[in-house]
Chains A and B, each alone.
Chain A
Amino acid sequence: MNETILTPQELIDRFTRTFGDLVSDPRIQIRAEGAKKNPNTNIWMTITRDILKPAISMLKEISYPHLSVISGWDVGEELRMQYIFSIYFGERHGEYMVIFTVPLTKGDLVLPTITDIMPGALFTEREKQEMFGVTITDIPDGRRLFLPEDFPEGVYPLRKDETGIPDTMVKHLWEVGRPTNRPVPPVTEKEEEPKDDPEEKTVKNKENPSPEAEAKTDE
């Protein structure tokens, strides 16, 4: 572990220096919230699949990273996998989020497992296999994680192409059993008169009553 804390730019420089063109589109997203506007830092980098493991190892050399999750985004022609890490936790206001985006072409959805360097990744790698149809090579436990045993093969719920959820598998529960022949209630424009629905009469107090007023009556 390295004791000196890198600035976000230094961190990116280190990656671009080591991996050259294989790291692209680095950006630092800084956001300040609250009254004092203390900034928090997110670092995004797009890397190729080949340097995924070296990049994580390098992150490990800088500071032991915490892997939050691997996410994915089906953008149509390719699948972008986001490896969401955070480093420098334990430093007050000093944590960086480091997000590696790994683009994969639809024809070649293979990723190496990172469980040998980050054992905690197993869960999320299993999930990526079943949800996105990505093959994780050398995964120590390739079972399904969330999907049931009888879920059809070749359907990946979070994909947006033809391997995603087909409409035939979707049941809109809210539509089920709704009465279709219900008579339409009469409408009187801007007139107050008693209706068949008893609810109507109670519409007196306007929406979102001020809590203080009601609080007083309540106590």
Chain B
Amino acid sequence: MALPMIREILAQVFKIPATNPFPARFLPPSVTEFLKKVGAGEATINPPVATPPRFRGKIVYDRDGCIGCNLCIRVCPAHAIEFIPETKRVRIYVTQCIFCSQCNDICPKGVLTMSPEFLLGTEDRFAESQIVE
């Protein structure tokens, strides 16, 4: 009976675990309180893993440079971009965005970019943080 794994696990006990640690060691009673403390410097968190250089996170839009050409709406696969006729600008719903950055590629003025921000979870699909305009 060959059990090569036994040797492997016995060696592994004495090595450092490969898991990325959670931000907090234990689940704090209140996450918001904990984050406040971190903000105030009273508590420390394990920093998140850095995003890679080409990461596509939450979209960023420079409204003033936009010329309202609508090309981004034409290539958005998820219909996440809405045209505002009054000002000839667009409004982007981040909850519907699929982060393909195709609009970035097609934008003739380069006013759309992807930021490395990725902590976007929320309960409200149309919260203020979920609309870029």
Size class of the contact patch on chain A = 20 to 34
Q: Which chain A residues border B70 with CB–CB below 8 Å?
A: none
A152 interface hit (Cβ, 8 Å): no
Verify B132–A190 contact, CB threshold 8 A: no
- Chain A residues, Cβ within 8 Å of B125: 177
Residues of B within 8 A of A203 (CB): 60-62, 111, 113
Which residues of B lie under 8 Å from residue A175 when comparing CB positions? 79
Q: B63 to A187, Cβ gap below 8 A?
A: yes
In-complex Cβ contact of B78 among A174, A178, A188, A205 (8 A): A174
Tell whether, in the assembled complex, residue A184 and residue B110 are in contact, meaning their CB atoms are under 8 Å apart.
no
Contact yes or no, B53 A209, CB < 8 A: yes
- Does B40 sit within 8 A of A, measured CB to CB? no
* Alpha-carbon distance A215/B63, docked complex (angstroms): 29
Contact with B53, one of A187, A195, A214 (Cβ below 8 angstroms): A214
Given A174-B79, A178-B126, A185-B89, check contact A207 B112 (CB 8 Å): yes
Q: Say whether, besides A179-B126, A207-B112, A199 and B96 are in contact (CB < 8 Å).
A: no
CA distance in complex: A198, B23 (Å):
25
Is A162 an interface position by the 8 A CB rule?
no
Task: Kindly provide the distance from the CB of B109 to the nearest chain A CB, expressed in whole angstroms.
Answer: 10
Q: List residues of chain B with CB within 8 A of the CB of A179.
A: 126
Cα A185 to Cα B64 with chains together (Å) = 11
- From 190 to 219 in chain A, residues with beta carbon under 8 angstroms from any chain B beta carbon are 190-192, 195, 197, 199-200, 202-203, 205-209, 211, 214-215, 218
Contact A202 B60 (CB under 8 A): yes
Q: Which of B53, B62, B131, B132 contacts A218 (CB 8 A)?
A: B53
Q: Is the CB of B89 within 8 A of A218?
A: no
Query: Is B35's CB within 8 Å of the partner chain A?
Result: no
* B104 proximity list for chain A (CB < 8 A): 207-208
A172 CB–B CB distance under 8 Å: yes
Instruction: Indicate which residue in B53, B89, B132 contacts A199 across the interface (CB closer than 8 Å).
Output: B132
Closest to A186 in B: B87
Q: B78 — which chain A residues lie within 8 A by C-beta?
A: 174
Q: B87-110 CB contact bits vs A (8 Å, 1 = yes)? A: 101010100100000001001001
Contact with B along A54-69 (1 / 0, CB 8 A): 0000000000000000
Q: Report which A residues bind B (CB closer than 8 A).
A: 172, 174-175, 177-179, 182, 184-192, 195, 197, 199-200, 202-203, 205-209, 211, 214-215, 218
Counting from the closest, the 4 A-B pairs by CB-CB distance are A214-B53, A174-B79, A203-B62, A207-B113
Give chain B's interface residues, CB within 8 Å of chain A: 50, 52-54, 60-65, 78-80, 82, 84, 86-87, 89, 91, 93, 96, 104, 107, 110-115, 125-126, 131-133
Complex A-B: 28 CB contacts under 8 Å: A172-B79, A174-B78, A174-B80, A174-B93, A174-B96, A177-B125, A178-B126, A179-B126, A182-B91, A184-B86, A184-B89, A185-B89, A185-B133, A187-B63, A190-B64, A190-B65, A197-B132, A199-B115, A200-B62, A202-B115, A203-B113, A207-B110, A207-B114, A208-B54, A211-B53, A211-B54, A214-B54, A218-B50
